[in-house]
Amino acid sequence: RGARAAEQDLAGRHVVVSAGGTREPLDPVRYLGNRSSGKQGYALARTAAARGARVTLVAGNTELPDPAGVDVLHIGTARQLHEAVLKAAADADAVVMAAAVADFRPAVYTTGKIKKVEGREPEPVALVRNPDILAELSAERARSGQLVVGFAAETDDVLANGRAKLARKGCDLLVVNEVGEHKAFGSAENEAVILADDGTETPVPYGPKEDLADTLWDLVAPRLAETRP
Ligand code: CTP
Ligand code: CA
């Protein structure tokens, strides 16, 4: 890792990384959340900064401290993440969506705490779709040559699902994890395959999330050099 950082191959670049899970409020005390720890996104932010990039980290819910030398924006909901990422992406060379974005949010936010009613079953919670930030970033690049990277946690036919998702989202690179008991969520280690839109596949063996992060930047840096100085 030291050797990679010494290269400073992201110097002069602005990268935006999203991390952690969103929380979709139902009432003032309850939300719909997910199990993302934010560790992979934070590792991406730290390693990019070590390689010389200016880094904007848009962070959802996590218990991690703000990394030094990184601009951190804290958000709660998917819609706040959407707004913050799009704004930061305006002058970014690369955007990496490592955040676990809630696909749905409660259709209605109840301003007072929802109470039990004696003798009555609760009302069902209606959900609506959140914006697909990765698909939007991919379809409407804020600047030409901007690189867009997604993440996907899959089960079953992991690679086939990953390839289909890469095509559907329209991003340049997709990091595909198999979800399992000791992988991805909360762990400091990860194992993945990085799929590129040119058909190449880069396997990343089980190891620290920093190693996966550096392997991703190894793929991003030359792709940026191709387009702009
Ligand atoms: N993502 C996003 N906005 C959303 C949902 C997901 O930007 N509303 C991003 C995630 O940050 C991730 C990628 O899209 O980089 C893939 O997320 P994933 O949940 O695997 O994809 P979905 O299209 O939501 O598909 P699924 O139905 O499998 O959840
Ligand atoms: Ca999803």
Q: How far apart (Å, rounded) are the C-alpha atoms in residues 198 and 24?
A: 36
Contacts of 185 (CB under 8 A, 6+ apart): 35, 36, 37, 179
Instruction: Tell me the residue type at 50.
Output: A
- Per-residue pLDDT band for 186 (boundaries 50, 70, 90) equals confident
CATH of segment(s) 2-227 = 3.40.50.10300
Segment (H or E) for 139: helix 133-139
Half-sphere exposure of 221 (CA within 13 A, CB side): 20
Measured CA angle at 220 (ends 151, 68), to 5 deg: 80
Closest protein CA for atom 29 of ligand 1: 103
pLDDT at 188: 83
**Catalytic residue (choose from 34, 61, 130, 190):** 34
Ligand in nearest proximity to the CA of 100:
1
- Per-residue pLDDT band for 13 (boundaries 50, 70, 90) equals very high
Ligand in nearest proximity to the CA of 167:
1
Residue 6 has pLDDT above 80, yes or no: no
209-227 and 39-50 are packed helices; what angle lies between their axes, rounded to 10 degrees? 50
* pLDDT tens-digit series, residues 115-166: 999 999 999 999 999 999 999 999 999 898 999 999 999 999 999 999 999 9
Contact call for residues 39 and 64 (beta carbons, < 8 A)? yes
Percent of the chain at pLDDT above 70? 93
Centre of ligand 1 from the C-alpha of residue 121, in Å: 33
**Sign of the CA dihedral 150, 151, 157, 159?**
positive
Pocket test for ligand 1, best of 132, 166, 171, 174 (most atoms within 8 A of CB): 132
Dihedrals phi, psi of 35, to nearest 5 degrees: -90, 10
Closest protein CA for atom 3 of ligand 1: 132
**Sign of the CA dihedral 76, 82, 86, 92?**
positive
Put simply, whether the predicted model's pTM sits higher than 0.90 gets the answer: yes
Average pLDDT rounded to a whole number, residues 77-99: 98
Centre of ligand 1 from the C-alpha of residue 99, in Å: 9
**Sign of the CA dihedral 47, 50, 52, 54?**
positive
Contact call for residues 104 and 32 (beta carbons, < 8 A)? yes
Q: How far apart (Å, rounded) are the C-alpha atoms in residues 228 and 56?
A: 20
* pLDDT tens-digit series, residues 40-56: 999 999 999 999 999 99
Annotation says 34 is catalytic = yes
